[in-house]
Amino acid sequence: MSRQYVKISREEFEKFMKPFKARTSIRSVEGEIIHRIPLQNDFSIWVYSTVSPKTGYSRERGADAIRTVLMYKNRKAVMRESKTLRTTTWEKNLRQKIEDLTNRTTEYKCPWGHGLVRRPGKKGKGSFYGCSMFPECRYTYKGEKRLSEVYDPKKVPPTPEKKAK
């Protein structure tokens, strides 16, 4: 079964991104247009469109796929979704990936003030809340107290020492 690839125009992609209140920029090595969706707690989703600002259309078939990345403070990649192929169902598939990443963000912070994200457990078993700055901060929420009480800006504990290997 072959896939039906489609060419995506800049106007079409921007129309799709409009409900997400995305900001655009051109920053990747490939020179593609990146859409940044602002979320709560210093998170944002970056959508690498594959659309070239020079031509106004997506790159040639098979050259790339649409990528979605959850970013923390616009500089730390926290997690990525699988690539979205530019097939006839790209809009539905991309919407689902944006929704999944949005649902992983929380309003809560670790004791050092970094945003917590919901991460999948090992072997697909459950989920847990972990620091968005992993591996620099290895804090995970284990239910020891209410999440709303974890971060207290007046009582920030010292940064844990990294374990020597």
- Over the stretch 12-67, which tens digit does the pLDDT of each residue have? 999 999 999 999 887 666 678 899 999 999 999 999 998 888 888 887 766 678 99
- Distance separating alpha carbons of residues 163 and 26, to the nearest angstrom: 39
- pLDDT tens per residue, range 56-106: 888 776 667 899 999 999 889 999 999 999 889 999 999 999 999 999 999
CA dist 120 → 43, 95, 127 (Å): 18, 20, 4
By residue count, the chain amounts to: 165
* Cα distances (Å, whole numbers) of residue 31 to 34, 58, 138: 9, 11, 34
